[in-house]
Amino acid sequence: MGEPILQVHGVSKFFGGLTALDDVDFEVSCGEVVALLGDNGAGKSTLIKCISGVYRPERGQIIFDGHVITGHTPMEIRGLGIETIYQDLALAENLDVGANVFLGKEKKRRWLGLFPITDDEFMRRESEQALDKLDIHIPSLRQKLVNLSGGQRQAVAIARAIYWNAKLIIMDEPTAALGVPEQRKVLDLIRTLRQQQIPVILISHTMQDVMDVADRMVVMRRGRVVANVPRREATVDLLVKYIIGAEEMA
Ligand SMILES: Nc1ncnc2c1ncn2[C@@H]1O[C@H](COP(=O)(O)OP(=O)(O)OP(=O)(O)O)[C@@H](O)[C@H]1O
Ligand SMILES: [Mg+2]
């Protein structure tokens, strides 16, 4: 395993009187798939939102790829190479696949050498190559996102992350709303990312998914990290005990 590319040191986040994150330490190394586990309300989404810049922690420091990113904006953090795929995906339903891969970074050309217009053909061609690389086939890239299945949308979100050379991909419950074949596809994509040395943080309540793809499991409970378990030591039974608080940290 490589050097840590992400280091979270002593991060705390409060919402009014509620402590959502309590002195959290967390690391991810290159080429590693880390599962983030915990019961509802444990603080998983809050932690990744602190990493992706949606929330600013009250205490602690986050370092990514040599940069202190604590308090940076989501745009700045995306610019450094962290792509977060939220459950609601933040894709544009009424645009086609190409436009979604380029969302916020549209390619323009000049019509008649004068007026800037978006270069849809270029964006579709590039998107097709990105999807091919991931072995994903979408019948027509002219399809609007609303007409794609949940799994195809996940794939578009992942293709976008790859196209823009993400150095870390965070997925919050990527398979929760998917059918079985689509879930497998997303898990295959996570394995492809690992082969390409791109680290992934995977939040999932599905133990089987976690056991299938994760190299390491970090369990949160009531805003604290309560376990950090390498895959070879993990069993569903042990993880569940940590999640429900029946096992103290070894
Ligand atoms: N914007 C917010 N304002 C106030 N409280 C919040 C906010 N976001 C989260 N919380 C609270 O912080 C705690 C952690 O929530 P978080 O969403 O991080 O949990 P989670 O581990 O992602 O849970 P789930 O598995 O249900 O998605 C919860 O008690 C939640 O109610
Ligand atoms: Mg959550």
C-alpha 44 – ligand 2 centre gap (Å): 6
User: Rounded to the nearest 5 degrees, what angle is found at the Cα of 225, between the Cα atoms of 46 and 197?
Assistant: 75
C-alpha 39 – ligand 2 centre gap (Å): 9
Query: What is the per-residue pLDDT for 156?
Result: 81
Query: What is the per-residue pLDDT for 73?
Result: 92
49: Cβ contacts below 8 Å, ≥ 6 apart: 55
On the CB side of 26, how many CA atoms lie within 13 Å of its CA? 31
Residues 142/96, Cβ–Cβ less than 8 Å: yes
Strands 115-118 and 108-111: antiparallel
* Lowest mean pLDDT, pick from 50-59, 122-131, 189-198: 122-131
Confidence of residue 88 (pLDDT cuts 50, 70, 90): low
C-alpha 48 – ligand 2 centre gap (Å): 9
Mean pLDDT of all residues in the chain?
87
Query: What is the per-residue pLDDT for 38?
Result: 96
Alpha-carbon distance of 175 to 211, in angstroms, equals 14
Q: Which ligand is located closest to the Cα atom of residue 42? A: 1
Phi and psi at 28, nearest 5°, equal -135, 135
Host H or E run for residue 101? helix 97-101
Query: Partners of 18 in the beta sheet?
Result: 15
Write out pLDDT tens, residues 177-228: 667 777 787 888 899 889 888 999 999 988 999 999 999 999 999 999 999 9
Strands 82-85 and 168-172: parallel
Q: Which of 8, 7, 14 is nearest to 43 (CA)?
A: 14
**Quick check: CB of 221 below 6 Å from ligand 1?**
no
Higher pLDDT, 174 or 170: 170
pTM: 0.85
Write out pLDDT tens, residues 138-154: 777 787 877 877 777 77
**Quick check: CB of 17 below 6 Å from ligand 1?**
no
Residues 27/3, Cβ–Cβ less than 8 Å: no
Which amino acid, one-letter code, is at 176?
A
Q: Which CATH superfamily is domain 4-244 in?
A: P-loop containing nucleotide triphosphate hydrolases (3.40.50.300)
Ranked by mean pLDDT, the top range of 80-84, 124-128, 153-157 is 80-84
**Quick check: CB of 46 below 6 Å from ligand 1?**
yes
C-alpha 105 – ligand 1 centre gap (Å): 31
pLDDT above 90 (res 132): no
Query: What is the per-residue pLDDT for 101?
Result: 79
**Quick check: CB of 206 below 6 Å from ligand 1?**
no
Whose tokens are 């050097």? That residue is 3
Q: Compute the average pLDDT of residues 128-139.
A: 77
**Quick check: CB of 31 below 6 Å from ligand 1?**
no
Query: What is the per-residue pLDDT for 220?
Result: 97
Confidence of residue 33 (pLDDT cuts 50, 70, 90): very high
Domain limits, the chain: 4-244
Ranked by mean pLDDT, the top range of 6-10, 82-86, 94-98 is 6-10
Confidence of residue 89 (pLDDT cuts 50, 70, 90): low
pLDDT above 60 (res 61): yes
**Quick check: CB of 49 below 6 Å from ligand 1?**
no
Q: Which of 136, 213, 205 is nearest to 169 (CA)?
A: 213
Alpha-carbon distance of 5 to 28, in angstroms, equals 6
